Structure 1
Amino acid sequence: MEIEGYKSLQIVPHNPKSSVVYVYLNRPSQRNALSSDFFTEFPKALNSLDHNPQVNVIVLSGAGHHFCSGIDLNSLSSLFKDHSSHDRGRSGEKLRRHILGLQDAISAIERCRKPVIASIQGACIGGGVDIITACDIRFCTKDAFFSVKEVDLAITADLGTLQRLPSIVGYGNAVELALTARRFSGLEAKELGLVSRAFNSKHELDEAVRDVAEAIAAKSPLAVIGTKAVLLKSRDLTVEQGLDYVATRNSATLLSNDLHEAVSAQIQKRKPAFSKL
C-alpha cells in the first residue's frame, strides 16, 4: 500500500496482511495541536483511505504522549490578520466560509465509509474533542484527560462538539462540560459514555484497539459500511424514517456475495473470506 507523505499526519498500515490502517496526528512536539496543514490534509487522507479497497478499518491516534491539544494558537492568531477588514460584511462572510471549511475537515470522519476508531491517550482538548465525537468508536487510557476548552478562549465551539456531544453523553452533561470547560479524566469519560472503554495503560489500550479493529476488519465490508451509514443517518431521523431508510438501503445491498459467504461459513463452521470492497 502506498502511503502519501503529509506534514501533519502519519499513515501506517498495521501489517502487510492487515486491512487496518493507523492514522496518527503527527506533531508530537506541539502535543498534536491542529495546524492549517491538518485541515487541508486530513480530509484528503480519509478520502484516499475510503477509496482504497485494501483498507477496511481506520484507527486514529496521536503521535507521542498526547492525542490532541486543540487548534494551534498560532492559527487562531492568524485569524485576526486574515479576516480583518473595514468592511464587516465581507470580513464576516470570509470568516464564515473559513469556519465551514474547518468543519468540513472534521466531518470527513463521518463521510468516510470505513469505521474510524479513536485511540486516545494524554490530552484530548478542544479540537481533539471535535475529532473524537465524529469517530465511530472511542477508547482511551484511564489517565487521559479531556476538556471542551473553547469558552476559556472566548470562543463558541464551532467544529462539531456542541452538535455531536449531547447525543453521546446526554444534553445535561454536554452543557455542563461545554460551559465550564473543566478537565475530566478518562475514567469519567467512560462513566459519561464519551468512550466505550478506558484502560490502565497505553499498552492495554493499543492491544484492545488492535483486537477490535481486526475483528471489525474481518467482517463483511458491505455490512460494516452499511451499519455505519444507517447509524449516522438514523441519528437525525425518526424511528419510522430510519426503518424506511435501512429497508431501501438493504434492498440494494442485502443480496450480496458476502451474505452467501457468511451463511456458508456458518454452516461449514469456518471463518468467512470476503472480497475487497
Structure 2
Amino acid sequence: MSQYSSKWIRVSEPYPHVLHVELARAPVNAFNTEFWQAYGKLFDKLAEDGYDVRALVVSSSFSKTFTAGIDLNDLAGPEVIATDKVMGNARGALQSRKRLLAFQRALSAPERTPFPVILAVHGHLIGLGVDLIGPCDVCYAASNTNFVIKEVDVGFAPGLGTMAFLPKITGNHSLVRELTYTARPFSAAEAERLGLVSKVVQGGREEVIKEALEVAKVIASRSPVAVAGAKHLTTHARDYSVPENLAVTSVWNGSAFLTNDIPDNLKARLNKRTPSFAPLAVVSRWSKL
C-alpha cells in the first residue's frame, strides 16, 4: 500500500478489502498543515482511484496518545495569522476563512467516501481529535481513552466539525455544551453515554484496533452497492426531513435494485456458500475524462 502511505500516514491491507490507516506523526500526532492535507487527500484519492476498499479503520501508531490536536506552532505561524499591517482586518479574515474551509474539508473527507470509515480511538484524544469523529461512520473507544474538547481552553471556539456534528450525532445537547464550554476531560464511558462512540473496548490500542478490524471484515463481506447506499442515505437523513429522505431513498433504491448483488447474494445463501461481490468502481470512458 505504498502508493497511499505518506510521510506520517501508514496504510496497510490486513484483510481483503479492509484498509488500516495509522496516524504516525511523532510524538503525539499533532496536526500541522502538511499532516491534515495528507489526511484529506488519502480518502479522496482512494475514492477517485476506485480502489476496492470496502471498509477502513483509522487508528494511531502511538499507544498513549491518539492525537494531541492541532499543532499550535503551525497555528501561530506567520502564514496563518495575518497582521493588520500586512493585510488589514477584512483581507486577513478572508484568508483565514479560506484556510479554515480547506482544513474543514480535509477532516470531513471520510464522509465523502463510498465505504464506511471506522475510527478506533485510544489514549489521549484532544481538541481536533474529537473533530475527527463526526465525519467517520463508526467510532470505537478503548477504555483508556481520555477525551477533551480543548479549543475554548486555548482561546477559540471549535471550528473543524465538533460544533457542526456533535449536536446532531449525540443525544445530550446540554452535556455537549458543558464539555465544550469547560474543556473538561471526559472518559470513554461518558463518551458512550453521550452517544459519541458506539462501543467501549476494554484495554488500549491493540484491543480497540482488533475489535474495529473485526467489524470492518464483516462490513467488507457485504454488498458494496448496499453498503454505499446505506452510508449515503444515513448521512442524508442526518440533515434532512423524513419525507425528503424517503424521496431520495426511493430514487436511490430504484436504481440500486438493478444490481446483480441481490440475486447473487440470495443464490449463495440458498447454496450455503459465502457470497462474492464485484468491486464497486466500474472502469468506463468517464474515468478517462
Identify the TM-score tier after normalising by the shorter chain. Answer: over 0.9
| Matching residue's letter, 2:251 | T
| Matching residue's letter, 1:13 | E
Shift of 1:14: 1.2
Corresponding residue of 2:92: 91
Structure 1 segment 201-240 matched on structure 2, within 5 A:
201-202=203-204, 203-240=206-243
Maintained 8 Å contact 2:59/2:209: no
Runs of 4+ aligned structure 1 residues displaced above 3 Å come to 79-82
Corresponding residue of 2:160: 159
Structure 1 segment 114-125 matched on structure 2, within 5 A:
114-125=115-126
Maintained 8 Å contact 1:166/1:173: no
Shift of 1:113: 1.4
TM-score (norm: length of structure 1): 0.94
1: CA distance, partners of 2:151 / 2:80: 20
Corresponding residue of 2:185: 183
Shift of 1:255: 1.6
| 1:48 counterpart SS class | helix
Gaps of 5+ in 2: 281-289
Structure 1 segment 136-151 matched on structure 2, within 5 A:
136-151=137-152
1: CA distance, partners of 2:210 / 2:108: 27
| 1:109 counterpart SS class | helix
2: CA distance, partners of 1:96 / 1:47: 22
Gaps of 5+ in 1: none
RMSD: 1.5
Cα distance 1:178–1:56, how it changes in 2: closer, same or farther (>3 A)? same
1:155-189 residue CA offsets vs partner (Å, 9 max, x unmatched): 11110100101122232221111111110111211
Structure 1 segment 40-59 matched on structure 2, within 5 A:
40-50=37-47, 51-59=49-57
1: CA distance, partners of 2:279 / 2:80: 47
Percentage of pairs with the same residue: 34
| Matching residue's letter, 1:40 | Q
2: CA distance, partners of 1:133 / 1:178: 15
Corresponding residue of 1:19: 17
Shift of 1:2: 4.6
| 1:64 counterpart SS class | coil
| Matching residue's letter, 2:163 | L
2: CA distance, partners of 1:85 / 1:257: 61
Q: Which has the higher helix share?
A: 1
| Matching residue's letter, 1:77 | A
With 115-124 and 249-258 compared, the bigger mean Cα shift is at 249-258
TM-score (norm: length of structure 2): 0.90
Cα distance 1:252–1:153, how it changes in 2: closer, same or farther (>3 A)? same
1: CA distance, partners of 2:179 / 2:227: 32
- Determine if the alignment matches structure 1 residue 257 to structure 2 residue 254: no
Shift of 1:5: 4.0
